[in-house]
Every structure is written in C-alpha cells, then in structure tokens.
Amino acid sequence: MNLDIALRMTEAALRQASREGAAICVAVVDAGGHLVSFQRMAGAGVAGAVLAPRKAYTSVALRAATAGLAPLLAPGGELHGLNDDRFVFSAGGLPLWADDGEGERVAGAVGVSGGARAQDEACAEAAALVWRTR
C-alpha cells in the first residue's frame, strides 16, 4: 500500500458516492492498520470521520469484510466477547489482498461510512476495484 494507490482508491469511492447520492468519509489503511489516506465529502456526518477509519482497521485486523462480522459477536460466535472500540461491525469495510509469492496476504483495507449500508458497500467496492486492477 502506498499513498498514490490509496489516493486513487479514495477518489474512486468519492466518485461512486456522488453517483449514489451519498456524502461519505473514506479511509484506506495499510497492512498494519495505519491510515494512509482519508477524505471527507462536504455534508458527510460527524460519525463518518470516526467510523470509516475504524471499519478499515477492523477489516485489516480481522481479514474480513465488516458487513458479515456482526453475527460472529453473538453468544457462541467466534468473536463473542470482543470489546474493543477500534472495531466496527457494520457494512463498508473491505480487506485488500495481495499475492506476495508465498500466497495471499492482507495488504490493507478500505472503510467507508456516511451513506446507507448499500451505499457504503458500493463505495468501498469501487475503491477495492482500483486496488485489484492496479
């Protein structure tokens, strides 16, 4: 993950948000969960600036899309009892995979917040597409 690709990813998410009619915040983190790029659209809610980086962090830390994680928090679930305010279990976070020659590894993640669930997911997917086609 580098700044150039992260900026292109956030721009793609913002373009998708404009098509969706959503005002979002978008964050891209590296494999260690460190913020590489963040953008906030005019009119985006206050919470999005906190939630987008946390969705990206959650995706990279747990190596999974955030949309499917909530059921794992229920009693008996693999993540039951996980209580860390850095993690967010709502749609909009996607891990970014890369092949390092020894197999697939998580190279970073994107997090989007501010729209409806489907809008956040569409914007995150637009950013992830930039990563996959780099």
Please state which of the four CATH numbers 3.30.450.150, 3.30.450.20, 3.30.365.10, 3.40.50.300 is assigned to the domain occupying 3-132: 3.30.450.150
Domain ranges of the chain: 3-132
Indicate the SS3 state at residue 119: helix
Provide the whole-model pTM. 0.94
What are the phi and psi torsion angles at 93 (to 5°)?
A: -110, 130
Q: Using the 8-state DSSP alphabet, how is residue 43 labeled?
A: T
pLDDT in tens, the chain (134 residues): 999 999 999 999 999 999 999 999 999 999 999 999 999 999 999 999 999 999 999 999 999 999 988 888 888 888 888 878 889 999 999 999 999 888 899 999 999 999 999 999 999 999 999 999 99
Give the residue from 48, 8, 7, 53 showing the smallest Cα distance to 34: 53
CA angle (46, 50, 53) in 5-degree steps: 135
